[in-house]
Amino acid sequence: EAQVTQNPRYLITVTGKKLTVTCSQNMNHEYMSWYRQDPGLGLRQIYYSMNVEVTDKGDVPEGYKVSRKEKRNFPLILESPSPNQTSLYFCASSLRGHLGSYNEQFFGPGTRLTVL
């Protein structure tokens, strides 16, 4: 089944304790992205990756890191989480279209993170 998976789905942690949220897709998509969703703010892009070893900052990258060592995986790393990073996080992937044109993004199930 074609899908985007994220783990963990729920996480409660404390300030400063490093954590990683994994994201994996089995659709051979080049483009992968992380979003955070907060009430009243919609979906905001954290980081994105056009392909392996290529990553770029989105609109809200502060406090986050990513890596893209393999095409299928795009982990999100919070080196020192803070309470303002409490949010619902979505990973997404899409095919990269011809000449960079955009294609449908497929979202993972989401990870609800609480930082105390």
* Interacting residues toward other proteins by CB under 8 A: 33, 35, 40-45, 48, 50, 54, 56, 58-59, 90, 96, 99-102, 104-105, 107-110
* Per-residue 3-state assignment (H helix, E strand, C coil) for 44-104: EEEEEEEECCEEEECCCCCCCEECCCCCCECCEEECCCCHHHCEEEEEEEECCCHHHCCCC
The residue (of 42 and 62) whose beta carbon lies closer to other proteins is 42
CB of 17 to other proteins, least distance (A): 26
The residue (of 69 and 99) whose beta carbon lies closer to other proteins is 99
For residue 80, the cross-strand partners are none
The residue (of 40 and 62) whose beta carbon lies closer to other proteins is 40
